[in-house]
Structure 1
Amino acid sequence: MMSSSLPAGDADGDMETLPLAAASDYASTATTFDPLLSTSSPSPPTPAAFPLSRASSSSFVDPPSYADVAASSPRSASVSSSTSPRSARAAASEYAHIAVSDPETEAEAAATSLVPGSAPTYISYLVTSARRCDHRRHAVRRRFRDFITLADRLAEAFRGHFVPPRPDKNTVESQVMQRDEFVAQRRAALERYLWRLAEHPAIGASDELRVFLQAEGKMPLPSSTDVASRMLDGAARLPRQLLGEETVSPPQDVVQPAKGGRDLLRIFKELKQSMVTDWGGVKPPLVEEDKEFLEKKQKLQDWEQQLSSASQQAEALVKAQQDMGETMGALGLAFVKLTKFETEEATYDSQRIRAADSKRIAMAAVKASRTCRDLNTQTVKYLDTLHEHLGIMLSVHTAFSDRASALLTVQTLMSDLASLQSRIEKLEAASSKVFGGDRARLRKVEELRETIRATEDAKCCALREFERIKENNKIELSRLDEERREDFLDMLKGYVRSQAAYAEKIVDGWTMVAEETSGYGRNSDVV
């Protein structure tokens, strides 16, 4: 169990796993994809997301060590000599170095402890970085809460972009896993997260990321990330809004989602607008008219389903290869025991000869077991691209949600303008029936016109934000198409070549055994 020194509030991990499904046959891939014979190839990606249950070394005899087959294969040699698309994107980022290391347990400030002498603790990590422009090394201490703050700031500043998702917070997993294992997995996940941010064309050059990587001291928790304070602010503003003292949200609030909580009235208005549009069948004043975007959105939804299915099949393949390795190891152990028995109990020379041949089969089996395990490691590395792109789809959904939220804000403001204009017309009509005009109604008309002007300004800001998000979506979709093509071709090349190289190694091992035991065939022919 995990040590209690790791606080529940900071205990979480991001080692996501994918569901298992029936195994799929990848054998035909090598013969159907001729482009895989080109010279470019991938470097090993980030640590695997597919879970592997490691067999104990005591379950079968450890095979003798031998050089990695991929290193000696001509096909795999070309694999390691070239640069993968992911490495190329890292080389194009503004950062030459980012690392998360040296986890330390620190105590919370005494003021946060309710019980004297029992201050809660948290884990902090040393984050080092260096930009290509100056190569100056920066080192700061960050805790997981700081990564959450960074993610929230990026979500606000880069609406419409495919912002890489931060590692999840999983308290249950942290309590089940061993403490050292959990901290190590979180450290690796946070480092991968920072590299994904640095590789993003827009986020990599942002002030938000630069401040996080370079600013000394503890990161302040902005009020925008404090849910309780947002709700209190919203509750305090609501009476003034209902009484007409504060009728329009300021532009800085309009360009952010209403779900932030500071403007409860706006939340209610947008909820009403959404219900009228979805359930009332009323056409909103502004609709999504970008047919190309809608088509790509539908294709991405279909792609996500296919990607999820492929990831399930890939994990089933990993499990099948793992079972094969364990089975071959068990076979080798059985032949080792048989060899020992034949040697100890041998009466005739023929028994000793067969014992020697059994030993050859045992060694070939355990070598094949080691090869299967090494092959499985390579398979996980290459097919992890499927898991990576499933994670990207979370960012895609968030970006599309930003677009829908911005559109709903514009629709709500336009409906408010129509409602205000209708009220003015009714007041003017009622005032015209009074000789000399109704001063109270005329004064109300002027107040409404002032509200209309403020609402128009807010609508213009919201409309500009919607157009900005649309442009961000367009740029990101184009980038995703290009990266997806590069990553998957890269994945297929590495996967097919590793399968071929390790299969060749296994065949060579059994071919040697067949040659060494070929005398049995000749003896049977004589008989």
Structure 2
Amino acid sequence: MMAEHSDPLDASQREDSNEDLFASAMENIDPKDASEATLSSPPLQEEVPLNDDEDEDEDEEDPQMIIPEPAPAPPKTPEAQDDQFLEISVSEPQKVGEGMVSYVVYKVTTRTNLPYFKRRNSTVTRRFSDFLGLHDKLVEKYLHSGRIVPPAPEKNALGTTKVKMSNDMSPQSSTPPTGGSVEFIERRRASLERFINRTAEHLTFRADPDFREFLETDGELPKATSTSVLSGAGFQRLLNRFGETVNKMTFKMDESDPWFEEKSQQVENLDNQLRRLHTSLEALAQYRRDLAASTTNFARSAATLANCEEHTGLSRVLSSLAEVEEKVEQVHIAQSNSDFFYMCELVKDYIGIIGAVKAVLHERIKAYQLWQHAQQMLNKKRETKARLEIAGKTDKVAPAKDEVSEWEAKVERCQESFENVSKMIKKEMDRFDQQRVSDFQVTIAKYLEDLLQQQEQVTKIWEGFLPQAKAIV
């Protein structure tokens, strides 16, 4: 059982006040405030000076081992403008145990001055399943009311198995880590950090007891067994998803609100375009990695030719050309990392968020179905009551009236629920639209700055080599 928490605000009052604060704050949001994206940044390539006296025996750097630096601080949220802040970082992944029973833990560090947190600074260790468990709890609490819960990172059985069977993350390992598992862990760390910070940006989620427990409780949390695909809860989720998919295909809601009709079409179009963009970005990142590999092969060929060349001047230039190509290769790798960790991961995140948006839109359809079902049952009860009155069965009329009254109350509750969900979705969609524009604006600017810096670096490298090429005698 999860430990109980004393919530500083009454649940209903807190939710109403949070919604009003959020709505007013989002109207005044300044995209400049989101100066720090939640995406994990690729490493900035330092300028590589031309140095002909480099140690030729220096170990060659493995291109696959270039790992991005820790993600920058999350973007400032509207409430942070009132001297309130909540900063969360996920770092230092560490493998615990050996073999298939092993797992990776991450250090989650929190800094905040929000009054409903118990501590201003806290550091805890959490497993990947703990993050999934937190997401499932938030979905269970808030999805039905129309709130968009940020999606948790996807599971990767193949990558997880490779990490379990390798010694890369083990502190007892004396062998240097290989690129595959380390890169997988870094990508997962970055995605977990983005997930927890996106969740923290929401006023309601950050005040949730389970969210605060996740950040503040020392020691291990109760194991979230329901997150396993092979668990009973996981199998039940698959059945529920199958049922909802069938329901979406067979039920057509007569939409009376043009706003929702327009938004639903917009979401579908956005989903399709983001998926195409993600495919293109993955191809671009792979192209730059292939280009880096080809540049390496060219550098090696030039170095081999330099050793065979009898002309001293030409041999010296070919040797310098090989060194220059090796430095250009590093820039290509940095550009590939920029493509992936800036743009590709952002687009992938928003494909997941679009899925969360579709989920809340479907919750509205489910609320409408319940309302219509209650209305149909009410009509049947009224017809039954009328037949009993005509037949003069006075002994059954009174119970029939009670049933009519009961279903009238159910219809009112279902209608109210549908209207509340619709109202909440409109607020959440406004927030989603503004956050999406802000995220893409900040990330594209950082991406372009990074590419410009890398192009300038390539230019300097070739400009430094050109005099040597012209000086062949």
Q: TM-score, normalised by structure 2?
A: 0.69
- Paired residue for 1:329? 296
- Paired residue for 1:68? none
- Paired residue for 1:153? 137
Cα pair 2:93 2:104 within 8 Å, conserved? no
1:314 to 269, 281, 284: 281
Aligned-pair CA distance for 1:228: 6.4
Letter in 2 for 1:166: A
Q: Distance in 2 between matches of 1:341 and 1:46?
A: 48
Cα pair 1:141 1:217 within 8 Å, conserved? yes
- C-alpha change, 1:498 and 1:147, in structure 2 (3 Å) is closer
Q: Distance in 2 between matches of 1:375 and 1:224?
A: 40
Cα pair 1:99 1:129 within 8 Å, conserved? no
- Map 1:508-519 → 2, pairs under 5 A: 508-519=460-471
Cα pair 2:88 2:108 within 8 Å, conserved? no
2:337 to 377, 398, 411: 377
2:354 to 357, 372, 393: 393
Cα pair 2:90 2:190 within 8 Å, conserved? no
- Residue 110 of structure 2 aligns to a residue whose secondary structure is strand
Deviations 1:394-439 (A, max 9, x none): 21111111111111111111111111111111222222xxxxxx3x
- Residue 87 of structure 2 aligns to a residue whose secondary structure is strand
- C-alpha change, 1:302 and 1:513, in structure 2 (3 Å) is same
Letter in 1 for 2:463: T
- C-alpha change, 1:357 and 1:272, in structure 2 (3 Å) is closer
Letter in 1 for 2:149: V
Cα pair 2:33 2:77 within 8 Å, conserved? no
Cα pair 1:44 1:381 within 8 Å, conserved? no
- Residue 76 of structure 2 aligns to a residue whose secondary structure is helix
- Paired residue for 2:442? 490
- Paired residue for 2:87? 96
Q: Distance in 2 between matches of 1:380 and 1:341?
A: 39
- Map 1:181-330 → 2, pairs under 5 A: 181=181, 186=188, 188-215=190-217, 278=252, 287-330=254-297
Cα pair 1:326 1:369 within 8 Å, conserved? yes
Letter in 2 for 1:96: E
- Paired residue for 1:129? 110
Aligned-pair CA distance for 1:474: 0.7
Q: Distance in 1 between matches of 2:217 and 2:113?
A: 18
- C-alpha change, 1:146 and 1:363, in structure 2 (3 Å) is closer
Q: Which has the higher contact order (CA 8 A, sep 6+)?
A: 1
Cα pair 2:277 2:347 within 8 Å, conserved? yes
Aligned-pair CA distance for 1:208: 3.1
Q: Distance in 2 between matches of 1:39 and 1:204?
A: 23
Q: Tell me, which stretches of 5 or more residues in structure 1 are unaligned?
A: 1-37, 50-57, 64-82, 108-119, 233-258, 261-266, 279-283, 432-437
RMSD: 4.3
Q: Distance in 1 between matches of 2:124 and 2:382?
A: 55
Cα pair 1:106 1:122 within 8 Å, conserved? yes
- Paired residue for 2:319? 359
Letter in 2 for 1:132: N
- C-alpha change, 1:480 and 1:216, in structure 2 (3 Å) is same
- C-alpha change, 1:325 and 1:382, in structure 2 (3 Å) is same
The answer to whether the aligner puts 1:341 opposite 2:300 as a matched pair is no
- Paired residue for 1:167? 153
Cα pair 1:129 1:213 within 8 Å, conserved? yes
Q: Distance in 2 between matches of 1:339 and 1:162?
A: 61
Letter in 1 for 2:373: T
- Residue 46 of structure 1 aligns to a residue whose secondary structure is coil
- Paired residue for 2:456? 504
Q: Distance in 2 between matches of 1:464 and 1:224?
A: 32
Q: Distance in 1 between matches of 2:354 and 2:92?
A: 28
Letter in 1 for 2:147: H
- C-alpha change, 1:372 and 1:45, in structure 2 (3 Å) is farther
The answer to whether the aligner puts 1:411 opposite 2:372 as a matched pair is yes
The answer to whether the aligner puts 1:456 opposite 2:444 as a matched pair is no
Aligned-pair CA distance for 1:295: 0.3
- Paired residue for 1:420? 381
- Paired residue for 2:17? none
- C-alpha change, 1:215 and 1:427, in structure 2 (3 Å) is farther
Cα pair 2:37 2:75 within 8 Å, conserved? no
- C-alpha change, 1:138 and 1:357, in structure 2 (3 Å) is closer
Cα pair 2:41 2:72 within 8 Å, conserved? no
Which range is displaced more, 316-325 or 130-139?
130-139
- Residue 462 of structure 1 aligns to a residue whose secondary structure is helix
Letter in 2 for 1:391: G
Letter in 2 for 1:89: T
Letter in 2 for 1:353: G
Q: Tell me, which stretches of 5 or more residues in structure 2 are unaligned?
A: 1-30, 43-55, 62-70, 170-180
Q: Distance in 2 between matches of 1:40 and 1:149?
A: 31
- C-alpha change, 1:428 and 1:380, in structure 2 (3 Å) is same
Aligned-pair CA distance for 1:444: 2.9
- C-alpha change, 1:447 and 1:139, in structure 2 (3 Å) is farther
Cα pair 1:94 1:205 within 8 Å, conserved? no
Cα pair 2:37 2:443 within 8 Å, conserved? no
- C-alpha change, 1:144 and 1:426, in structure 2 (3 Å) is farther
Cα pair 1:100 1:187 within 8 Å, conserved? yes
- C-alpha change, 1:423 and 1:187, in structure 2 (3 Å) is same
Cα pair 2:37 2:73 within 8 Å, conserved? no
Cα pair 2:39 2:346 within 8 Å, conserved? no
Q: TM-score, normalised by structure 1?
A: 0.62
- C-alpha change, 1:362 and 1:288, in structure 2 (3 Å) is same
Q: Distance in 2 between matches of 1:504 and 1:205?
A: 46
- Paired residue for 1:87? 75
- C-alpha change, 1:448 and 1:103, in structure 2 (3 Å) is farther
1:471 to 423, 426, 433: 423
